[in-house]
Structure 1
C-alpha cells in the first residue's frame, strides 16, 4: 500500500476535527451506559461487558472513519492494518525493547520493593525461620493470589487489557496517521496527540465532584495532576508509535504503566530509592533513541513510503 504526499486529501482542519470527534465519541460512548441505560458503576460482570463493548465499538468506528479519511490507495487488509501500526513482524522487538525502556523509569519503584523484601527477610531470619523455604513459599503464594485476583477482577481486565488496547487504537493508531497526513510536523504530532488523550480523561472531574463528593478545588487538583501525567505518557506513547511504526510498542508500555502506577521518586525508608530513580531516569534518557531505532522494528528504512515517518529519523 502506498501513501500520497503528506496533506494530500487531508487538511490540518480535517485531521484535527476528526481527532476531536474520535475523542468525544470514545468518551461519550464509554459513559453512555451510565447516562442512558442508568447502569451502576462497572462492578458487575454485565455492567463491565456493556461498557467494554461500547469501548470496542468506538475503537472500530474510529478505525473505519480514519481509513475513509486517509489518502490510502489499495485495499489489502494487511496493508491497511500496517497504517495503524498493527503488525506481527518484529513483534518480539516491539515487546521487549519498549518494556525494558519503560522499566527504567520505575527503577525507584523496584528499589523500594527490594528494600521491603530485604527488611521482611531480615525479620524472618531474626525469628529463626528458614529464609530459602520462606521466600519460595511467599513468592509462590503471592503469584498465585495475584493471578487469581487479576483474572476474577473486572477492574484488572479494564486497566490492564481493555482500556490500553482501545485507547491505543483510537488515540494513537487512528489519530497519528491522520495528523501526520494533515501536514503536522513529527514533533508537533507527538505533543498534540496527547492533548486529545488528556481531554478524554476530563470526565473524571465530574466523577470526583459529583460521585465521590470531592470539593471542586480538590477535584480540579486531582484531575489536573492526572491530565499532566496523561499528557506526558501520551507524548511518550506517540513517540514510540511514530519512532517504531509498531502499535505493540506503546501498547506494552501502556499496560506496564497501568500495572505499576506512578513511579516512586522518594521514600522515607532510604535515600537509595531516590538515587536509583535518578540512575533510571539517566539510563532512560541515554537509551531512548538507541532502543527505539527504527531499523530494529523495520526491515527497510531507505526510500520507504511509511506512514509513521520512521525513515526520517536518524
Structure 2
C-alpha cells in the first residue's frame, strides 16, 4: 500500500506538479514542519514521560538487550515501526493532499481521521480468529480485547475512537506545518 498510495495521490490531485511538497516532502519551511510537531507531541506526552522518569522505568530504554530483543521480535517491528510509518505515509502524506483540494483544512482534519479509524477495524478479525467473541471484538477492536470479559461491552469502539482522535491530531499537525 505504501507504494501504491503515492500513485493514487498523483492521479487524483488536480495539480500534481508539486506533489512532493503537497505530500509534506519539502525543503521550504522544513524547520517549522519538524520542530512544531515535535514540540507539540513532546508536550502531549510529557505526563507519561515524567511518570516513566520518576518511577525509574526509563532505565530499561538504556539497556542494549531491550532494544536487541525488540528488533528481533517481528510483531514489535510491525507494531512500533512499520505500521506507524505506513499509516502516516498513506493517511497523512498521500490522503490529506487529496482531501485538502476539495475540503476546507479543518473539515479535512476531521474527515481523514474517520477513515483512519475505520481502517483499524481489521484488528477485529484478528481478535475473532484468536477466540474473542464477535461482540467484544467489534466493540473494542483492539489487541487487548481477548483479556476483557463483560467489561468490554462498556467500552465503545475504543480503538476506532483513539485512532480517530490521534489521526485528527496528526492531520492538524500536517495542515499547520504546511507552507502557505
- Shared fold (TM-score greater than 0.5)? yes
Q: Answer with 1 or 2: which has the greater Rg.
A: 1
Q: Which residue of 2 aligns with 1:154?
A: 74
Helix, strand or coil at the partner of 1:60: coil
Q: Which residue of 2 aligns with 1:33?
A: none
CA RMSD of aligned residues (A): 2.5
Which residue of the other structure, out of 169, 172, 175, is the alignment partner of 2:92? Answer: 172
Q: Which residue of 2 aligns with 1:102?
A: 41
Higher relative contact order (CA 8 A, sep 6+): 1
Instruction: Please report the TM-score for the alignment, with normalisation by the length of structure 1.
Output: 0.47
Helix, strand or coil at the partner of 2:4: helix
Asked if the contact 2:32–2:177 (Cα under 8 Å) also holds between the matched residues in 1, the reply is no
Instruction: Please report the TM-score for the alignment, with normalisation by the length of structure 2.
Output: 0.79
Asked if the contact 2:10–2:16 (Cα under 8 Å) also holds between the matched residues in 1, the reply is no
Which residue of the other structure, out of 5, 21, 25, is the alignment partner of 1:82? Answer: 21
Note the alpha carbon deviations across 1:214-252, whole angstroms, 9 max, x for none.
12332233221000000000001111111112xxxxxxx
Note the alpha carbon deviations across 1:25-50, whole angstroms, 9 max, x for none.
xxxxxxxxxxxxxxxxxxxxxxxxxx
Confirm or deny that 1:235 pairs with 2:168.
Answer: yes
Alpha carbons of 1:95 and 1:213: their partners in 2 closer, same or farther (altered >3 Å)? Answer: same
Note the alpha carbon deviations across 1:95-144, whole angstroms, 9 max, x for none.
34322211222233123223322xx9xxxxxxxxxxxxxxxxx9488431
Note the alpha carbon deviations across 1:174-213, whole angstroms, 9 max, x for none.
211111212x1111100000011111111111211x2221
Higher percent of residues as helix: 2
Which residue of the other structure, out of 219, 232, 236, is the alignment partner of 2:137? Answer: 219
Could you tell me how far apart the structure 2 residues matched to 1:144 and 1:170 are? 32
Alpha carbons of 1:219 and 1:158: their partners in 2 closer, same or farther (altered >3 Å)? Answer: same
Could you tell me how far apart the structure 2 residues matched to 1:108 and 1:174 are? 31
Stretches of structure 1 lacking an aligned partner (at least 5 in a row): 1-57, 121-137, 246-309
CA-CA distance at 1:155 after TM superposition: 2.4
Stretches of structure 2 lacking an aligned partner (at least 5 in a row): 142-156
CA-CA distance at 1:89 after TM superposition: 4.9
